[in-house]
Amino acid sequence: MGMAASQARFLGLTARKNNVEYEGQQINQQRTALSNTSASHYTDLLGMSVPVCPSVEDYTQTIYSFDDGSLQNSITSLIAQGDGTYKVSYLSRYTDDFSVVSAGATSVVNDNNNEYRVGAYKLKELGKDLTWAYVLSEQTKTYRLYEDGNNYTYTDANGDNKVLIPATYDIITGIIGKEPQLSDYNVGPLITNYKNTQCYGSVAASQAGMYHMEHNLCRLMWSDGSKTITSSNGVTLTKTDAANNSYTLTTSMSNSSTTDSTSIELQKALKKYYPDLYQNLVDTYINTVLYLDNQNYMINKDYYTLSTTENAENVQPSEMFTNWNALWTEISGLDYSDAFDKDHSAWQQKYNVYDGNYLDSQDYTKIYTIRERKMFYDGEDEYLKSLSSDQLERLYDLEVTYRDMLEESYGKSEEGWYVRYKQNTSTGEWEPIFYRGDDIADGVKDQYGNMRTNVDTYKIGSKEVQNEIKGRDAYLEQDSTGRYINITFVEADGTKKTYALSTNTVTDNAAYDDAMNQYEYDKALYDQSIEEINAKIAIIQAEDKNLELRLKQLDTEQDAISNELDAVQKVIEKNVESSFKTFG
């Protein structure tokens, strides 16, 4: 083998050896990753909770009960404390002194006015005849407001009847001015039919452009009702009373389709937000009038007066018309949205002062904000008439409670529930007696034509109910089998009371069945999860086995390459040695 061939073979084997080593490194990395994944699956297996089959004992409990006089008490909870005592909770039947109970029967009359009475006393429907009304305070006095359609009325301290009316949109805008509209900020179309106006019956053809200017500018100059305007060079133009509406062109056009009543809002916006442009508009208008006046083309001069008749600028009609046309175009093209937003916001603030409030119908400057309500009774019952508004409010809430209690115990009544308040002769307290409206709706007429019925009545009294007592401190005594036989409570005064306990064993079969069903479901999920994880581990192990076989093949290949490299190396050394001897 020649020197060059040996060296080339040596380099090729070296590269091949490097590739085998690199591939071996890659396989080792893959096996490491598979090992990590396998370890993660084993960790999942170790972290899984094994479902536990429920025991029937867990759903069987011993119920302890004791008698306290006429009360039967069943213990629901026993919690041992560190000091040898227990926290005890139990169900106890007791007497509720605020319950609806029967009060016997009585005769009720439905008189000719369709009112229910017991003797001379008129029955009141629960929650009725106690009415809310708005009140207002004026000069340290409070007045009740009576509804009159959409209005309110009251009699003041002077005995004068006052009428309060809602501050409607039209009334408010009549006070603060109309609401700005974006369309109001539009200069409108040019008026070209100026020859048929009332204020100028004839127009010289040579001055048509000047009249065109004067008529259109006139719509803006006087739209806000002002009487005078002054140019920047000091010429004042005054509108006389003789002008009236004719001078504003609002009604002067013979053809109504060409009439345009330019908005006051536009003139105000020009004055406020574009003062230089507005002054230019005034100057153009006054110069136009001056020119027409000097040329003796103005008709009906009684409509205006000028502080001077000299046209100081001496502007030619053609130049004035060109300037005017550009000015009109500029005014028409302005964006008035910001001006409108600011004006509308200012208007809205003034509007909000009135919105939702009431006004004195005789004096709109008096604004009433009506928010306070009080309760009133307008019936004939002397007891209810003696109560204050706050007391009536509390009574109203109490009557709502009474009605709920009656409906819960005896059902709803289509005719409502009625009450009369009767004074207890022993305590002096007023007590309610209740009547079911359905029981007294139909009756038998007596000799006077009244419907008379004997009905059941109800009152607030005592009734036995069941209640749960929680967390009482107690001592418990056990027998030799571990069952509790006595319970001792420590009263607030330190005395002790001991009661004998009776026992009863109860199994909650429904709860046990539910727990068993849940166990079967959880066990199926557990088994499925185990199978899935084992399958994943098996796949990983197979992949690792393949990688291990491949790694062994690479080891064998690397050994062969190493042997061949050694052989080539010896050939190269032999060639080098023979070369040195030849040239040595």
Query: Are 360 and 416 contained in the same domain?
Result: no
Residue 355: pLDDT band (50, 70, 90) is very high
- Most confident stretch, 93-102, 367-376, 566-575: 367-376
Name the residue with tokens 């536990």.
52
412 near 436, Cβ under 8 Å?
Answer: no
Query: Are 159 and 26 contained in the same domain?
Result: no
**pLDDT of 250:** 41
Question: What's the whole-number mean pLDDT along residues 101-130?
Answer: 81
Query: Are 198 and 330 contained in the same domain?
Result: yes
Query: Are 207 and 245 contained in the same domain?
Result: yes
In a domain, 344, yes or no: no
Q: pLDDT by residue (tens digit) across 59-89?
A: 777 788 888 876 788 888 888 888 888 888 8
Q: pLDDT by residue (tens digit) across 141-179?
A: 889 999 988 999 999 888 899 999 999 999 999 999 889
Encoded tokens for 481: 């089998």
Cα–Cα dist 443/446, whole Å? 9
Question: What's the whole-number mean pLDDT along residues 30-50?
Answer: 79
Give 457-469 as a DSSP string. EEEEEEEEEEEEE
- Does position 455 have pLDDT exceeding 70, yes or no? yes
Query: Partners of 329 in the beta sheet?
Result: none
Name the helix (H) or strand (E) containing 131.
Answer: strand 130-138
DSSP 253: B
Name the residue with higher pLDDT: 554 or 339.
339
- Does position 557 have pLDDT exceeding 60, yes or no? yes
In a domain, 106, yes or no: no
- Does position 236 have pLDDT exceeding 60, yes or no? yes
Give me the percent of the chain exceeding a pLDDT of 70. Answer: 85
**pLDDT of 178:** 87
Domain count, the chain: 5
Complete edge-to-edge strand list for the sheet that includes strand 151-155: 146-148, 151-155, 161-166, 358-360, 363-368
Name the residue with tokens 């093209």.
333
Query: Are 202 and 307 contained in the same domain?
Result: yes
Q: pLDDT by residue (tens digit) across 463-516?
A: 877 788 888 889 988 888 888 888 888 887 878 888 888 888 777 788 888 888
Name the residue with tokens 């229910």.
116
Please, what is the average pLDDT of the chain? 80
Name the residue with higher pLDDT: 413 or 312.
413
In a domain, 320, yes or no: yes
Name the residue with tokens 């040329």.
295
**pLDDT of 257:** 41
Give the residue from 344, 376, 408 where a domain finishes.
376
Name the residue with higher pLDDT: 322 or 392.
392
Q: pLDDT by residue (tens digit) across 5-29?
A: 766 777 777 777 777 777 777 877 8
In a domain, 348, yes or no: no
Half-sphere exposure of 533 (CA within 13 A, CB side): 18
Query: Are 426 and 371 contained in the same domain?
Result: no
Query: Are 412 and 478 contained in the same domain?
Result: no
Q: pLDDT by residue (tens digit) across 408-449?
A: 888 888 888 999 998 888 888 899 999 988 888 776 566 666
- pTM for the full predicted model: 0.46
Residue 254: pLDDT band (50, 70, 90) is very low
Q: Identify the CA nearest to 537 among candidates 43, 49, 24, 28.
A: 43
Question: What's the whole-number mean pLDDT along residues 215-225?
Answer: 73
Query: Are 196 and 216 contained in the same domain?
Result: yes
In a domain, 104, yes or no: no
Query: Are 438 and 416 contained in the same domain?
Result: yes
Q: pLDDT by residue (tens digit) across 261-286?
A: 556 677 788 888 889 988 998 888 88
Query: Are 288 and 314 contained in the same domain?
Result: yes
In a domain, 273, yes or no: yes
In a domain, 98, yes or no: no
Query: Are 255 and 291 contained in the same domain?
Result: yes
Question: What's the whole-number mean pLDDT along residues 111-124?
Answer: 79
Query: Are 414 and 504 contained in the same domain?
Result: no
In a domain, 371, yes or no: yes
**pLDDT of 174:** 92
Name the residue with higher pLDDT: 562 or 371.
371
60 near 507, Cβ under 8 Å?
Answer: yes
Domain span including residue 537: 3-54+513-583
